[in-house]
C-alpha cells in the first residue's frame, strides 16, 4: 500500500444533506424488497427503507461502527421497527448473510472510501455473493465539486469512476441519477 493517508470510514451523518425518501424512490426500492444499507452509519436511510419495503420486506443495516449502530438500535426500539435488522460487520470481510438474499444494496457515501483505500476487491465479491441473480447495487456519493459538503475533493469519485471500477468487477451500469444538490446515484445490476 502506498504512503498516502487512508480514508477514515465512518463519520458525520449525511441526514441533513441527503433526502432518504428521494434516494430510495430514485433507485426504485419497492414493497416486499430485501434491502441492504451497506455502511449504514446511523441508519437514517435504513429506517426510511423499512417503511417502503413493508411487512413483507426486510432491511439489513450493516456497518462496522458500534457507536453509529447504537444510535440506530435505539431508533429501531423507539419506533418499534420490526423489519429492520442491524448487523455489525466489516464490509471488507465475509458478511453474515446467506447467498443471493438481497434485491437491492445501497452504498451511500461509502464507495469513495473503499476506492481511495484500495479495498474494493475485498468488498465487491461479498456484494455479488449476497445479491440475488438480478440484484441491483446503488451507489450514492458526493459530487466532485469544490466547496460543497463531503470528503476532500481528492477522495471523491465521479459516476464515471464508479462505472469504471464496478463494470470490471461483475456489475453492469443501468443508469445515473441526480439525487440531491450534493449527490448523484449510479444504479448497476449484477451481471
Model confidence over 56-104: pLDDT tens digits?
999 999 999 999 999 999 999 999 999 999 999 999 999 999 999 999 9
Assigned domain for 37 exists: yes
Compute the mean pLDDT over every residue in the chain, rounded to the nearest whole number. 93
Assigned domain for 96 exists: yes
Share of the chain above pLDDT 70, in %: 94
Assigned domain for 86 exists: yes
CATH at 169: 3.40.50.150
Assigned domain for 14 exists: no
Q: Which three cell numbers stand for residue 154?
A: 481528492
Matching residue, cell 417502503:
52
Assigned domain for 89 exists: yes
Domain extent at residue 149: 20-190
Q: Are strands 84-88 and 58-63 parallel, antiparallel or unpaired?
A: parallel
pLDDT of residue 15: 86
pLDDT of residue 7: 46
Assigned domain for 5 exists: no
Assigned domain for 81 exists: yes
Model confidence over 17-70: pLDDT tens digits?
999 999 999 999 999 999 999 999 999 999 999 999 999 999 999 999 999 999
The structural domain count of the chain equals 1
Q: Report phi then psi at 32, rounded to 5.
A: 85, -5
Amino acid at each position: 500500500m502506498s504512503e498516502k493517508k487512508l480514508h477514515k470510514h465512518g463519520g458525520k451523518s449525511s441526514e441533513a444533506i441527503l433526502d432518504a425518501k428521494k434516494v430510495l424512490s430514485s433507485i426504485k426500492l419497492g414493497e416486499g424488497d430485501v434491502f441492504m444499507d451497506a455502511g449504514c452509519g446511523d441508519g437514517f436511510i435504513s429506517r426510511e427503507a423499512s417503511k417502503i419495503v413493508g411487512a413483507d420486506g426486510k432491511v439489513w443495516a450493516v456497518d462496522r461502527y458500534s457507536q453509529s449502530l447504537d444510535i440506530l438500535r435505539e431508533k429501531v426500539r423507539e419506533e418499534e421497527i420490526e423489519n429492520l435488522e442491524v448487523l455489525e460487520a466489516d464490509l471488507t470481510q465475509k458478511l453474515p448473510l446467506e447467498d443471493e438474499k438481497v434485491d437491492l444494496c445501497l452504498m451511500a457515501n461509502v464507495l469513495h472510501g473503499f476506492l481511495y483505500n484500495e479495498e474494493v476487491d475485498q468488498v465487491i465479491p461479498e456484494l455479488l455473493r449476497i445479491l440475488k441473480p438480478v440484484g441491483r447495487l446503488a451507489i450514492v456519493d458526493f459530487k466532485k465539486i469544490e466547496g460543497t459538503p463531503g470528503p476532500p475533493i481528492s477522495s471523491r469519485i465521479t459516476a464515471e469512476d464508479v462505472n469504471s471500477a464496478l463494470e470490471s468487477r461483475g456489475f453492469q451500469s443501468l443508469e445515473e441519477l441526480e439525487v440531491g444538490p450534493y449527490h448523484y446515484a449510479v444504479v448497476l445490476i449484477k451481471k
